[in-house]
């Protein structure tokens, strides 16, 4: 039986879909079989981020309506054979599915895949209720902004009420220079409010925008980057391995501080 | 029957002020300043500290114990030394009356809870009574269910396992699916749904079909262990005190959007986050950080207090008074107590408050 993990945030635009695409790809890369479920009916874009838009033939709705089999709707990733996507319908809205139907789909997927990642839409309405219905675990994505943290807090409360107990946090788009200058909430500031275990921190990175537009998840790029490393670390932690958090401040150490450390170590 | 209906009507009428209050307390709603016209802001304390020339908005907090504030502006620091206790910027809440005036206050705690649209637990003789909000409050089932989940989660340690639960549904319409949901939620908390008390025929049928014992009450009458509204009013005439429910003890983090309403005192062991609200007819004690909204003495009792290990509230309300928190959080934290004075809500270090309080009661 695979694990069902919902990736949610409350607020929009904090990087839920980007995280889902990258975590799914990274998990597939280390040999796990992964099914990604887009729960964002009516505003789907997980297929875009994966560069699979032109391969979508059937969607989850057709499966539920019995117009096709589940296997037919699954879109296999062109680079990672272990990664499949169950697309959402674009021409409907969130009310066109029920929580029970989402459960049915997710449970069917767990039989074949190690991980079922559900990309949750923004908000706390029907789409959110659908997305969390089947989940045993949740990953909260937030940015170090007060509005995102407030919404994340609300969502954690709702998850608790719906008996999703295993909730972990990803803090996305951290700008270490701003944190150092006290212009941005730090990781500990966010954690102090949300008080849920931290799954990872991801620095703000322009490469993410480039990879999004290209439809190629960042974790597949050849180039080494801090954000890619951060995502890979998160996958390791999902797998139950202990990996230390990235030290995002490292590049922002002053020369003086480095020299001092250098001489101390001698 | 006639008299019952009449009393019901008067109940809902007198509850009107309370609904206007709910409008203010909505965390995502309009800023609460809407409720406070500028004219209503208490000006007395300003005159007292001779800060009249400073703009109202900039005064924010002024409380001598918070040392960082003294440093903030020397002008404030000097003038504060004369005033022993200074309120946070205070205002008045319209709609909250002084205790003892409104007949609605004289209803029992369970009735106040039912009319206020929130669930209420009461333990008596080894049985846990669960009161559901009245149908007139138009509270949706999903909201009730969420409230219930949070409450069960937060009170897990209090009720012994396998405690029988009597569901007091009153005039709320429940179908079989909802009853089953309820039973599952209760059994997850190791409680057993045994009996359903309802005044609605459909609910009774659904309960019987699901295999629970059913008591069909007359409308508005027959809350177990609670006198009818009329009787409680008679009792209230002899003692015009507000009857408070047992204190509510919660072990939880109260997150954004979470709202606890209780017709008695509330104790929260854990943090209350910004965006949350506690509305209690009695005192509020937070064994953790208080960062949301707290309203003590919500039925108008000004003698109520709000206590917290770390007082960083969005807003404090006691009875009809409102105060908002300083824009800048204090750099030192210690347990504090908020209480009312004629000039508005004041905050004092808990250690000092204990001394002051014993002095006052000695007088």
What's the pLDDT tens digit per position in B290-328? 999 999 999 888 999 999 999 999 999 999 899 987 777
Break chain B into its structural domains and give their ranges.
Answer: 32-101+244-363, 109-226
Of A135, A101, A110, A109, residue with least CA distance to A8: A135
Which ranges constitute the DSSP H helices of chain A?
16-29, 46-49, 60-64, 70-73, 99-110, 126-133, 146-161, 176-180, 187-194, 206-214, 226-238, 255-265
Tell me which of B88 and A22 has the higher pLDDT. Answer: A22
> What whole-number distance in Å separates Cα of residue B268 and Cα of residue B113?
19
Which ranges constitute the DSSP H helices of B167-304?
176-188, 201-209, 229-238
Tell me: pLDDT of B200 over 70: yes
Tell me which residue in B145, B257, B274 faces A157 most closely, judged by beta carbons: B257
Residues B155-177: tens digit of each pLDDT: 888 888 899 999 998 888 899 99
Comparing A254-258, B134-138, B349-353, which segment has the lowest mean pLDDT? Answer: A254-258
**Residue B82's pLDDT band (cuts 50, 70, 90):** very low
> What whole-number distance in Å separates Cα of residue B104 and Cα of residue B18?
10
Q: What is the share, in percent, of chain B residues with pLDDT greater than 70? A: 61
Secondary structure percentages of chain A, helix, strand, coil, to 5: 45, 15, 40
Number of other CB atoms surrounding residue B26 within 10 Å: 12
Exposure class string for B47-56: b at 16+ Cβ within 10 A, else e: eebebeeeee
With residue A35 as reference, give the H or E element that holds it. Answer: strand A34-38
Note whether B149 contacts A: Cβ–Cβ < 8 A: yes
Q: Is residue B347 within 8 Å of residue B311, measured between CB atoms?
A: yes
Instruction: Report CA-CA distances (Å) from B6 to B170, B172, B184, B235.
Output: 18, 20, 38, 18
Per-residue pLDDT at B3: 42
ipTM for this prediction: 0.80
Interface of B with A in 234-253 (CB under 8 A): 253
Tell me which of B75 and B94 has the higher pLDDT. Answer: B94
Count helices and strands (H / E) in chain B.
Answer: 12, 17
> What whole-number distance in Å separates Cα of residue A198 and Cα of residue A245?
9
Task: For helices A226-238 and A16-29, give the axis angle rounded to 10 degrees.
Answer: 70
Residue A140 burial (CB < 10 Å; 0-12/13-18/19+)?
A: buried
Interface of A with B in 238-257 (CB under 8 A): none
Residues B238-292: tens digit of each pLDDT: 445 678 888 999 999 999 999 999 999 999 999 999 999 999 999 999 999 999 9
Comparing A19-23, B20-24, B354-358, which segment has the lowest mean pLDDT? Answer: B20-24
Tell me which residue in B188, B257, B273 faces A193 most closely, judged by beta carbons: B273
Give chain B's mean pLDDT: 71
Tell me: pLDDT of B105 over 60: no
Instruction: Report CA-CA distances (Å) from B175 to A145, A228, B180.
Output: 43, 51, 9
Chains A and B: how many Cβ contacts under 8 Å?
39
Comparing B52-56, B109-113, B240-244, which segment has the lowest mean pLDDT? Answer: B52-56
A203-212 LR contacts (CB < 8 Å, sep 24+): A203/A173, A203/A174, A203/A175, A203/A176, A203/A227, A203/A230, A203/A246, A203/A248, A204/A173, A204/A174, A204/A175, A208/A15, A208/A18, A212/A18, A212/A48, A212/A49
Query: What dotted CATH number matches B109-226?
Result: 3.30.70
Residues B5, B9, B13, CA angle at the centre, nearest 5°? 170
Q: Is residue B259 within 8 Å of residue B273, measured between CB atoms?
A: no
Residues B288-298: tens digit of each pLDDT: 999 999 999 99
Residues B269, B274, B276, CA angle at the centre, nearest 5°? 65
**Residue B52's pLDDT band (cuts 50, 70, 90):** very low
Per-residue pLDDT at B56: 32
Tokens in use for A139? 């990953």
**B292 alpha carbon, distance to own chain's centre:** 13
Q: A93: number of CA atoms within 13 Å, CB side?
A: 3
> What whole-number distance in Å separates Cα of residue B199 and Cα of residue B219?
5
Per-residue pLDDT at B135: 82
Report phi then psi at B237, rounded to 5.
-65, -35
Per-residue pLDDT at B69: 30
Architecture of domain B32-101+244-363 in CATH?
Answer: 3 Solenoid (2.160)
Tokens in use for A102? 């989402």
Q: Is residue A175 within 8 Å of residue A184, measured between CB atoms?
A: yes
Exposure class string for B123-137: b at 16+ Cβ within 10 A, else e: eeeeebbbbbbbebb
Q: Alpha-carbon Rg of chain A, whole angstroms? A: 19
> What whole-number distance in Å separates Cα of residue A72 and Cα of residue A88?
14
Cβ within 8 Å of residue A20, ≥6 positions away: A7, A36, A46, A117, A118, A119
Q: List, for chain A, all residue ranges whose pLDDT scores fall below the cut of 50.
A: none
Cβ–Cβ below 8 Å for B255 and A153: yes
Per-residue pLDDT at B281: 93
Residues A204-234: tens digit of each pLDDT: 999 999 998 999 999 999 888 999 999 999 9
Residue B322, min C-alpha distance to chain A (Å): 23
Q: Is residue B213 within 8 Å of residue B196, measured between CB atoms?
A: yes
Of A234, A207, A233, residue with least CA distance to A221: A207
Interface of B with A in 35-64 (CB under 8 A): none
**Residue B114's pLDDT band (cuts 50, 70, 90):** confident
Per-residue pLDDT at A116: 97
**B124 alpha carbon, distance to own chain's centre:** 22
Q: Is residue A18 within 8 Å of residue A170, measured between CB atoms?
A: no
Q: Is residue B103 within 8 Å of residue B14, measured between CB atoms?
A: yes
Note whether A150 contacts B: Cβ–Cβ < 8 A: yes
Three-state secondary structure call for residue B85: coil
Note whether B111 contacts A: Cβ–Cβ < 8 A: no
Cβ–Cβ below 8 Å for A162 and B188: no
Residue B276, min C-alpha distance to chain A (Å): 9
Give chain A's domains with CATH numbers: 3-265 (3.40.50.300)
Tell me which residue in A156, A162, A163 faces B255 most closely, judged by beta carbons: A156
């Amino acid at each position: 039986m695979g694990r069902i993990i919902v990736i949610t945030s409350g607020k929009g635009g904090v990087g839920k879909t980007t995280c889902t695409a990258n975590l799914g790809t990274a998990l597939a890369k280390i040999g796990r079989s992964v099914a990604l479920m887009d729960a964002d009916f009516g505003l789907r874009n997980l297929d875009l981020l994966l560069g699979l838009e032109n391969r979508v033939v059937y969607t989850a709705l057709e499966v539920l309506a019995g117009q096709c089999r589940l296997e037919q709707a699954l879109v296999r990733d062109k680079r990672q054979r272990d990664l499949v996507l169950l697309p959402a319908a674009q021409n409907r809205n969130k009310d066109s599915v029920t929580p029970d139907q989402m459960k049915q789909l997710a449970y069917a997927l767990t039989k074949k895949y190690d991980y079922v990642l559900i990309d949750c839409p923004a908000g706390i309405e029907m789409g959110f209720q659908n997305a969390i219905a089947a989940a045993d675990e949740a990953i909260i994505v937030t940015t170090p902004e007060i509005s995102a943290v407030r919404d994340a807090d609300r969502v954690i409360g709702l998850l608790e009420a719906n008996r999703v107990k295993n909730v972990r946090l990803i803090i996305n788009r951290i700008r270490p220079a701003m944190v150092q200058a006290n212009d941005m909430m730090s990781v500990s500031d966010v954690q102090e409010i949300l008080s849920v275990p931290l799954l990872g921190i991801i620095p703000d990175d322009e490469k993410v925008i480039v990879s999004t537009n290209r439809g190629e998840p960042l974790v597949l790029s050849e180039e080494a980057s801090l954000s890619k490393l951060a995502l890979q670390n998160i996958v390791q932690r999902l797998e139950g391995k202990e990996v230390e958090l990235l030290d995002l401040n490292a590049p922002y150490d002053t020369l003086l501080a480095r020299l001092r450390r250098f001489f101390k170590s001698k | 029957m006639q008299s019952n209906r009449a009393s019901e009507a008067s109940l809902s009428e007198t509850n009107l002020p309370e609904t206007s209050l709910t409008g203010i307390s909505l965390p995502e709603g309009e800023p609460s300043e809407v409720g406070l016209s500028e004219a209503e802001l208490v000006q007395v304390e300003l005159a007292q500290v001779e800060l009249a020339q400073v703009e109202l908005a900039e005064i924010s907090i002024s409380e001598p114990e918070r040392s960082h504030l003294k440093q903030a502006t020397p002008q404030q620091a000097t003038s504060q030394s004369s005033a022993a206790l200074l309120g946070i910027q205070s205002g008045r809440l319209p709609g909250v009356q002084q205790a003892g005036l409104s007949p609605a206050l004289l209803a029992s705690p369970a009735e106040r809870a039912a009319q206020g649209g929130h669930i209420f637990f009461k333990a008596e003789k080894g049985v846990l009574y669960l009161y559901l909000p009245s149908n007139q409050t138009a509270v949706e089932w999903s909201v009730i269910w969420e409230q219930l989940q949070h409450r069960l989660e937060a009170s897990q340690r209090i009720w012994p396992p396998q405690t029988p639960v009597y569901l007091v549904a009153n005039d709320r319409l429940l179908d079989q699916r909802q009853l089953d949901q309820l039973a599952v939620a209760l059994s997850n908390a190791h409680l057993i749904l045994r009996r359903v008390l309802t005044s609605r025929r459909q609910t009774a049928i659904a309960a019987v079909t699901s295999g629970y014992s059913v008591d069909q009450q007359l409308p508005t009458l027959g809350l177990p262990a609670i006198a009818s509204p009329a009787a409680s009013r008679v009792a209230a005439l002899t003692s015009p005190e507000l009857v408070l429910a047992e204190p509510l003890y919660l072990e939880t983090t109260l997150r954004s959007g979470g709202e606890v309403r209780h017709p008695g005192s509330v104790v929260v062991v854990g943090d209350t986050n910004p965006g949350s609200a506690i509305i209690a007819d009695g005192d509020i004690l937070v064994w953790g950080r208080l960062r949301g909204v707290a309203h003590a003495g919500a039925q108008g009792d000004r003698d109520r207090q709000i206590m917290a290990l770390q007082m960083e509230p969005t807003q404090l309300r006691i009875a009809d008074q409102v105060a908002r928190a300083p824009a800048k959080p204090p750099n030192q934290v210690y347990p504090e107590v908020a209480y009312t004075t004629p000039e508005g809500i004041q905050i004092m270090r808990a250690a000092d408050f204990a001394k002051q309080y014993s002095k006052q009661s000695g007088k």
